[in-house]
Structure 1
Amino acid sequence: MMGVFKMLMLYFILFTTINGFLLDSQQSNGGQSLPSNQYMTLSKFYEEEKRLQLKMENLHQDTFTLRHDMDNSFVLLTAQLQHKLDLLDMKLADIEKNNVTNEDVLKLEEKNKVLEQNYKNLQNENTVLQNKYNRVENDYQLLKNKTKYLDELLLVQTGLFNDVLGNLSIQGRESTVLQNKSILMDQEISKLKQLGSIQPLKEIKTLQQSVQTITAQTNSLSMKERARSQDFLALYNMTTNSLNELEVRTHSKINQLENITLAQLHDIEKKSEETENLNNLTFSRIQQQINESTEQVAMTAHPTFSGTSSGIMKFDDVSFSIGINNLAAYKNTGKFICERKGLYIISSSIMSHANLGDYYIMLNDNIISETRVGYSSSPPSSMYHTGTIVLALQLHPNDSVWVHNPGYYMNGGLYSTLTIVKVK
């Protein structure tokens, strides 16, 4: 533009010294004058110059309008592209969430199968212990039956003992009567001897035989009484020993069975308690995993102002957020502080007209990405580009993420966006 203007000024200075200029390079012939239409007057030249300037101005205006339209179209296309990228991010997050939910369901089904198997094992062990307990009860019932039988036998032996005592009492009375009779007969014999009565020899022998018979019977009864007493004592001792031994064995067996039963019941209670604690711990971990996988953490924000300030670029205009408690601190500092461990998607899109303009994504004072917005070896008077970066990060509690501007001019408002989403 300046070159054309300089050429026109040169022609103007040159043409002010003459009244016209030759349109045809043909020389005059034989001294004859050239026709008048071979020259252009200054007025026509000025008109042509004005027409060219007007055309240049119109062309410049058309160029500016075209550039403005192109800039507007570029901004519109950028916004539409950003909207489509946001929709794509949301769809990818939904797909990832569905995949995570399906994986959690499969894990829960597997753990449920393990728990069912453990429950079946506990049922089988409970059945075995119940059978053992039934056998113990049967043994205890047999011991009770034996004890009852021995009690009945003791009653029978006690009856026999009472009968023996009765017989002994009767025999004692009979022995007493015989002894009394023997004493009376001895007294009568002594009286007869003292009286000196002479009786027939036959009667004396008869009396002697009677006395001997009575004495023999008395001795026999005494021996039988002693034998029966010894038998009764032996039977009584045997019964007492048997009862004592049976009582000792019964108490020992009952104590043994009680100890075994108590030990088995203690083992069952211990296993049941351990299983219940394991199930509670398993369910707690499953519930925690479900809560961690289903909890929503997301944020979309824009810078309030444009500028060239070097340092943390604050996206303090938060248009959407969920599951973030320290949002006020984020707006103040520009740093996103992770509150829940998980896999995060971080997307940043920033517009700038600065040539060679770039920005960084920082994680705990470490540069994890560098994005160049635009570059041109021969930049025009104005140029706008958008630099976009999408990262996947495994964040832990208290991790810090922010955007760092080295000092280039960055556009604020809806032209620049920062989105952080927890996907798992």
Structure 2
Amino acid sequence: MRHTDDYSDRFRLVYATASLAAGVLTAGWGVVFAAMQEWSMVAMDIALVTVAVASFVLVRRRQLTAAILFSQVAFLVIIAAFCLLFDVPNDVAPRVSHLFLLVLAMIGYINYQQRPSRRQMAIVALSLAAFVVFASTQLALPFARPISDDFRFVGAWVNVTIAVAMLCGCLYMMRQEFARNLGRERDIAAALKNREFELFYQPQVDQAGAVTGAEALLRWRRPDGSFVSPGDFIPIAEQAGLMPAIGDWVLNEALKTLSFWQQDDGTRHLRLAVNVSADQFMKADFADAVLARIRAQDIDPARLKLELTESMMANDVDAIAEKMGVLRAAGLTLSLDDFGTGYSSLSHLRRLPIQEIKIDRSFVKDAPESKRNRLLLKSIFDIARTLDLAVVAEGIETKEQFLLLQSFGGMAFQGFYFGRPVPLADFQTQWAAETPPPLAETA
């Protein structure tokens, strides 16, 4: 059930368009100020245009989160400087540049709904706090150079109109995104009810290439036969609080598979890895419920592996460790998934009763060509051996990657090089046999 956070194409398009429009608008003001020979303000406009263009480029490269955070911080600093240096209120015209801080706060809130983070909330809070300060005082620097009153009077009307228009645009974008997500939430809930979800199985192998088990991966097959990417629906399911219900379904299906495998000598040895979401794991009765289901189906608990993401470590680590201890004592294997990409630390490895770490594919991808990646991987393997932890390397797509990780002492491997995720029937046909097939030569 792993995923990568994503945004809708509409959201990307709107933000890219807004960045481009801001750049064009600011460039226009820069021409006006240049004609007035207000070179300090021209410099300020150049900075704004640079930020707008950089944000547009980042969005085009599908780095929207980086674009939003970069532009927010940059615009916050530039707007504050503009208010303190040039937009000083007087009896002729009020200060208006601070209105754009509300736009920044609105964009930040929309982004927070997509990808919650403390950093994003801090930027929203700073934007609102700066707005209150500039709206309530005549704060300015001692060496400020206020814009001429004649120009300020006209500029006030123009900037207020633009700020209000941008706020309306943000509200429309927020409404569209929330409406889209609400519709998807209903679709996901209906998919769970109508049994549109299914599990695919990707083989995991040992150093000799023999299949030792599989990872169960969630897939959503529409009634028309098309698939919805997990990266599209899992983030929405998490926001809607649907992951505990989906996770329960996944766990039940996985246990049915293990029960089925136990009835055949050719598959009795296979182990099955299941991803567990933070919301699902943190349910008060999670451990008891898992163990009750295992007992009800008379399954060997050693055959079940629970993969926990590092993002879960943002919760109460002591409570997590206690619950893990109960599950490990019952015989389950606990694996720390996507190791090296989240909240992991050596203290977590020391405190948590895990038996395995799963190296994220991002470390594996360029390892044969990157000395730095190779050194990082070797360090991870050394740490794992010191702590008596098993290591699973995922995302292996080439023979070179496999051989390199073998040389580091890898114990288990997963990736397209060995096999793609497939439905259970195909997994049974291709890999669930006493004698594994030869390894593929290409991804």
TM-score class normalised by the smaller sequence: under 0.3
Flag the structure with larger Rg. 1
Identify, as 1 or 2, the structure richer in helix. Answer: 1
TM-score of the two chains, using structure 2 as the length reference: 0.20
TM-score of the two chains, using structure 1 as the length reference: 0.20
Q: Which has the higher contact order (CA 8 A, sep 6+)?
A: 1
